[in-house]
Amino acid sequence: MNLNYDVPDPYAMRLEDIDVSNPDLYKFDAWRPYFDRLRKEDPVHYRVESPFGPFWSITRFEDIVEIDSNYKDFSSEPAIVIGDLIDELPIEMFIAMDPPKHDMQRKAAQPVVAPQNLVAMEALIRSRVVEILDGLPIGETFDWVDKVSIELTAQMLATLFDFPIEECRKLTYWSDLAAGSPEVAGGSVDQSERIAGLTDCLHTFMAIWNVRKSEDRSQRAGVLDLIRLLQEDPHTEDLVDRPMEFLGNLILLIVGGNDTTRNSISGGVLALNQNPKEYEKLRNNPELIPNMVSEIIRWQTPLMHMRRTATRDVEFKGKLIRKGEKVVMWYLSGNHDESAIKNANEFLIDRPNARHHVSFGFGVHRCMGNRLAEMQLTILWEEITRRFRLVEVVEDPERVQSNFVRGYEKLLVKLHLA
């Protein structure tokens, strides 16, 4: 926690005054006691006033699973973030749709992370990880977020879109703009810059769409490409003619492919430094890496919440949630719920049943790319442990200002050889 931030004691506040939508709680890593009190005293909590309007907070693991699995009563439309979308950019995306439309559009993109394609991608991911790690300075301080977390995920996003690799950082920039709006998640991105940047994203991909449409597909056989997958599916073949829906799905795929992996890469390094006994376990037993990856994703919870909207009046755990009210499932809180996860506030790389977490969501909206994220992290840590005895964090991290993305702006580290 940043000691310059004066965190009010949530146990000294009136229960109704607790507002977990405040992005400062996450920028300064001050959220734990707030969710602790809500889980204990008011796990279905109504906040009357906030910068994002009134909303319900769901903070216990089992309650989150129940709501996340019930799209008929708790709809993903019109948005899955706590804030409302601005009129100037009324985007639509399949994660913010319900079946059957959601299922049809998700199905169009799903093949890119099919098991056989993940197997095909493994060698490419490893080669890029090796190239990135072998290019890092030894014994010198550098920013892990920039040199590793962003670089790896940007390159993988470029691969999934068959986007020019030399321009891959544009994808990261667009992802940051999409998730960084003050209205959407309490971020600090200037709205005019956001609109201009995402408009550029739309125009760039419309041009790519048109080029791909005119190409001889037989010459591109075997190329992994989300744009071609959308073009080849009857439910999305005309997506480019619906610009806000096209842009919305681009943003969904870019943010989904960027933030989960990128911030788990940084969060894992930080967690191991904060828990040196766990780092020693890793050094002594690298076979723990796949299990550790699940624990990192739980511990980090890179997307902290998902919102639903009640489709009718629903009594839930003794509270009346009225039609049209926002219901925010705090994945970050659920992943630290001691009633569902033993020793939930400890980072344990050998945790039994480590995949028992809510970071990927549940039900029809469960994260499409979860296996790809796990594979990238597993390969990265396999290659890290072969090279370095320690990735040492040398300063407190700079965190993203957001109540949606739990991320890092900067993480300064120094490498020590194995």
The model's confidence at residue 87, banded by pLDDT at 50, 70 and 90, is low
Can the peptide bond before residue 137 be classed as cis, meaning omega within 30 degrees of 0? no
**Contact by Cβ (8 Å): 307, 368:** no
Domain boundaries, the chain: 10-417
CATH number of 10-417: 1.10.630.10
CA distance 241 to 230: 12
Lowest mean pLDDT among 7-21, 98-112, 200-214, 249-263: 98-112
The model's confidence at residue 2, banded by pLDDT at 50, 70 and 90, is very low
Give residue 1's pLDDT: 39
Residue 219 has pLDDT above 70, yes or no: no
- For CA atoms 192, 195, 198, 202, the dihedral sign is negative
Q: What are phi and psi of 142, to 5 degrees?
A: -150, 170
Q: What is the mean pLDDT of the chain?
A: 91
CA distance 245 to 239: 7
Q: Which one-letter amino acid corresponds to residue 11?
A: Y
Q: Which residues contact 379 (CB under 8 A, 6 or more apart)?
A: 122, 125, 126, 129
Percent of the chain with pLDDT over 70: 96
The model's confidence at residue 106, banded by pLDDT at 50, 70 and 90, is confident
CA distance 203 to 126: 32
CA distance 37 to 22: 16
**Contact by Cβ (8 Å): 217, 228:** yes
Range 359-366 average pLDDT = 88
Give residue 222's pLDDT: 61
Residue 13 has pLDDT above 70, yes or no: yes
| Most confident listed range (6-10, 59-63, 177-181) | 59-63
Give residue 14's pLDDT: 95
132 CB burial (10 A radius; 0-12, 13-18, 19+)? middle
Give residue 164's pLDDT: 92
**Contact by Cβ (8 Å): 373, 113:** no
